[in-house]
Structure 1
Amino acid sequence: MTLSRAKRLQPVIDMAEKAEREAARQLGQCQGLLAQAEAKLGELERYRADYQQQWVSEGQRGVSGQWLMNYQRFLSQLEGAIGQQLRSIAWHRANADKARAQWQQRYARLEGLRKLVQRYQEEARIAADKHEQRLLDELAQRLRPVE
């Protein structure tokens, strides 16, 4: 009886495994997008540092007003792009956190189902052992010589 309960749960476990794998895939995808966004931010920050170093180099030689205005305008655009990338990272991080929470929930459900099946299987094994012992005891009773 108990073993059949474990077998009846197999389709539920199969669905839970599929849902857990899909959640893990989505988490991996979100983490990959977050890593890409962080890498892009790193590139923008390095570009800003290089551009600021150019200011130091050019500034020592003297710059025109036009060059200074162009520099400030471009630096402002670069700062805007960095700010936008920071917002993008925050968005991707929030998505990754949601995906992680969903994966953890699905993983916990799957593990709970697996433990339930394991318990059912253990109960079935114990019941089968008791049944076998009862049969052996009955057989021993029948084979005992009459005195």
Structure 2
Amino acid sequence: MTHPTLQPLFVLLEQAEQARDEIVAQQARAEQAHAAAQAQQDQLRGYRQDYQRRWQQQFTQGVGIALATCYHDFAGRLNGVVDLQAEQVVRAAQAMDELRERRLAAELRVASVRKLIERREALLLAQGERRDQKRADELASRMAWQRLQQGHAFDVA
């Protein structure tokens, strides 16, 4: 059974653990989002390389100005998409880093509350032991006093 004065600390510990668990879940989602963004970036870069390789082959065979213009327009848009995706990967990495820091802070809070509970429990235990020792000492003192009094009662008679 826990001491009633510890109950608020156990409530605080439970809240801290729930907050930490939520941050851990958010961190897992952020890691998945980062991995997905990275995979999409890799896919877009691969597509851009394939597109450029195909068109280099086309240009060696000769193409019209209209087709070359279409290529350059699409290549420009594709480069823009690849750049936007690179920014998305950076933002996802930043979100992961922020959540990692928040998780570490939450874990520190949980550990701090646990340590506080341990210290309070140790303090309560030590107080109880001192109280028990005091009672035992008082009882021993009374019993010794009674024996002493009984011994004097026989001397008087």
Q: How does 1:1-147 map to 2 (within 5 A)?
A: 3-138=3-138, 142=143
3-state secondary structure, aligned to 2:43: helix
Counterpart Cα distance in 2 of 1:71 and 1:140: 102
Counterpart Cα distance in 2 of 1:128 and 1:75: 79
Alpha-carbon contact 1:27-1:100 (below 8 Å) kept:
yes
Counterpart Cα distance in 2 of 1:25 and 1:139: 57
Task: Please list the CA deviations of residues 5-57 of structure 1 after superposition, one character each: whole Å capped at 9, or x if unmatched.
Answer: 33331111111111111111112222221211111101100111111221333
Matching residue's letter, 1:95: A
Which stretch shows the higher mean deviation, 67-76 or 116-125? 67-76
3-state secondary structure, aligned to 1:9: helix
Q: CA deviation at 1:96?
A: 2.3
Consecutive unaligned residues of structure 1, counting only runs of 5 or more, are none
Counterpart Cα distance in 1 of 2:8 and 2:68: 75
Identity of aligned residues (%): 25
Counterpart Cα distance in 2 of 1:14 and 1:140: 44
Consecutive unaligned residues of structure 2, counting only runs of 5 or more, are 152-157
Counterpart Cα distance in 2 of 1:8 and 1:85: 48
Q: Taking structure 2 as the reference length, what is the TM-score of the superposition?
A: 0.76
How many residues are treated as equivalent by the alignment? 146
Task: Please list the CA deviations of residues 55-111 of structure 1 after superposition, one character each: whole Å capped at 9, or x if unmatched.
Answer: 333334343333322222221111000111112222222222222222222221111
Counterpart Cα distance in 1 of 2:8 and 2:130: 23
Matching residue's letter, 2:99: A
Higher relative contact order (CA 8 A, sep 6+): 1
Which stretch shows the higher mean deviation, 66-75 or 127-136? 127-136
Counterpart Cα distance in 1 of 2:98 and 2:52: 38
Q: CA deviation at 1:124?
A: 2.0
3-state secondary structure, aligned to 2:14: helix
Q: Taking structure 1 as the reference length, what is the TM-score of the superposition?
A: 0.81
3-state secondary structure, aligned to 2:109: helix
